[in-house]
Structure 1
């Protein structure tokens, strides 16, 4: 699949990105939370990140040959968990179902890596839900490694 990457702009892009909330929420499996709560969390998290991004953040859109939107990535400066120094943080990355396994997410990730290098960051980080096996394999294949694990016990 041929795709190009561009910076996000305008309400049509915003609608597309927020519309992928169900894809993002769909990979979250937990015995602690109901599906409605997960969907509400994902919608609120996406809106908070995308509607009022901090300075120096990056929001990219992947488009196909016919200018159809295939996916997006949103990254921002974030603190390293140990040193507190600024590093790049990927807050959101999603592709439409038809673009899965087609290299679109890799193109978006390449854009984030270039942005982070340009900013002089020593690292790029992200969070991924343990239940998102496909996402975890993708990130590991692309050089990310587990640094911390958050564990939860229902009471």
Structure 2
């Protein structure tokens, strides 16, 4: 059975949902030196800043099911490549609720991010993902995103 949903711009009433859903960013194993509580605190801070500082260079979209239940969100913004100075679209956050998993919502949000990027005249869309978040890495690879820069860390 296909799920019907709409992707729409964030409204003030969506802010609490977005901040609450940021906990999903911590549902994988971090490197040992990263403190899960600190990571959660940081994700909440990032989400709060995004919903409070939404400006002309960024947009937040939410996914609303036909029953009015919110199922995910996307935060996309402008960034500039450090090495080339090329302006790009950047996916700051993309997350789907447990209830929304497996319903094509993440693909829909990725299409929305690509549409947003093209509408701004940017030729590239970039995102960051933790290497240990294999599910997300596999998803982005499936959508033809390629690894470009790999951050290496050694705990001393």
TM-score range, shorter chain: over 0.9
Query: Deviations along 1:73-115, whole A, 9 cap, x unmatched?
Result: 0000001242112100000001101211210011111111111
Deviation beyond 6 Å, 4+ runs, structure 1: none
Q: CA deviation at 1:28?
A: 5.1
Q: Mind listing any 5+ residue stretches in structure 1 that lack a counterpart?
A: none
Within 1, Cα distance between the matches of 2:10 and 2:82? 28
Q: CA deviation at 1:26?
A: 2.1
Within 2, Cα distance between the matches of 1:58 and 1:151? 31
Within 1, Cα distance between the matches of 2:10 and 2:43? 20
Query: What SS does structure 2 have at the residue aligned with 1:43?
Result: helix
The residue that corresponds to 2:86 in the other structure is 85
The residue that corresponds to 1:142 in the other structure is 143
Within 2, Cα distance between the matches of 1:36 and 1:141? 31
Query: What SS does structure 1 have at the residue aligned with 2:31?
Result: coil
Within 2, Cα distance between the matches of 1:122 and 1:114? 11
* Equivalent pair of 1:28/1:38 in contact (CA under 8 Å): no
CA RMSD in angstroms, aligned pairs only: 1.2
Are the structure 2 counterparts of residues 86 and 123 from structure 1 closer, same or farther at C-alpha, using a change threshold of 3 Å? Answer: same
Within 2, Cα distance between the matches of 1:31 and 1:14? 31
Query: What SS does structure 2 have at the residue aligned with 1:73?
Result: strand
The residue that corresponds to 2:15 in the other structure is 14
Report which structure shows greater RCO (CA 8 Å, sep ≥6).
Answer: 1
Higher mean alpha-carbon deviation, 118-127 vs 46-55, is at 46-55
Q: CA deviation at 1:54?
A: 3.7
Q: What is the total number of aligned residue pairs between the two structures?
A: 154
Within 2, Cα distance between the matches of 1:26 and 1:141? 20
* Equivalent pair of 1:62/1:72 in contact (CA under 8 Å): yes
Are the structure 2 counterparts of residues 13 and 24 from structure 1 closer, same or farther at C-alpha, using a change threshold of 3 Å? Answer: same
Q: Mind listing any 5+ residue stretches in structure 2 that lack a counterpart?
A: none
Query: What's the TM-score, normalizing by structure 2?
Result: 0.93
Within 2, Cα distance between the matches of 1:37 and 1:47? 15
* Equivalent pair of 1:3/1:62 in contact (CA under 8 Å): yes
* Equivalent pair of 1:63/1:70 in contact (CA under 8 Å): yes
